Amino acid sequence: MSAKSQYSQDPVLKTIKNSKGMSVTVMDWGATMISIKVPVYGCAQPREALLGVKDPAKWSEQKCFFNATIGRFANRIANNSFVIDGKEYKLNSADRHTLHGGREGFDKRRFVFKSESANSVTLELVSPDGDMGFPGEYTLTVTYTLTEDNALNVQYLGKCTEKCWSCITNHAYFNLNGKNSSALGHTVWFDSEAFLPCDADSIPTGEIRKVHNSAFDFHTAPKTVGQDFMHDEQMELSLGYDHPFLIKGDPLTPFAKVVSEDEALSMEIFTDYPAFQFYSGNYINNAGSGEITARDDGKPYPNQSALCFEPEFYPDCPHLPQFADRNPIVTPDAPLSRCICYKFKS
DSSP readout, 229-289? TT-SHHHHHHTS-EEEEE--S-TTS-SEEEE-TTSS-EEEEEESSSEEEEE--TTTTSTT-
Tell me how far apart the alpha carbons of residues 281 and 346 are, in angstroms, rounded to a whole number: 24
AA identity, residue 237: L
Predicted local confidence at residue 60, as pLDDT: 92
Of the candidates 48, 97, 100, 171, the residue annotated as catalytic is: 171
Per-residue buried b or exposed e for 13-32, using 16+ beta carbons within 10 Å of the residue's own CB:
eeebebebebbbbbbbbbbb
Predicted local confidence at residue 10, as pLDDT: 95
Strand 151-160 relative to strand 336-345, pairing? antiparallel
Sorted by where each starts, the structural domains of the chain and their CATH numbers stand as: 3-345 (2.70.98.10)
Provide CB contacts within 8 A for 157, sequence distance 6+.
Answer: 140, 141, 335, 336, 337
Does 243 qualify as catalytic in the annotation? no
Q: For each of the chain's 346 residues, which pLDDT tens digit applies?
A: 354 457 999 999 999 999 999 999 999 999 999 999 999 999 999 999 999 999 999 999 899 999 999 999 999 999 999 999 999 999 999 899 999 999 999 999 999 999 999 999 999 999 999 999 999 999 999 999 999 999 999 999 999 999 999 999 999 999 999 999 999 999 999 999 999 999 999 999 999 999 999 999 999 999 999 999 999 999 999 999 999 999 999 999 999 999 999 999 999 999 999 999 999 999 998 655 568 999 999 999 999 999 999 999 999 999 999 999 999 999 999 999 999 999 999 9
Does 104 qualify as catalytic in the annotation? no
Of the candidates 97, 243, 310, 312, the residue annotated as catalytic is: 310
Predicted local confidence at residue 291, as pLDDT: 84
Predicted local confidence at residue 190, as pLDDT: 98
Distant-in-sequence contacts of 138-143, Cβ < 8 A, 24+ apart: 138/71, 138/72, 138/164, 138/166, 138/330, 140/69, 140/71, 140/106, 140/168, 141/114, 142/31, 142/69, 142/111, 142/168
Residue 126 CB coordination number (10 Å): 13
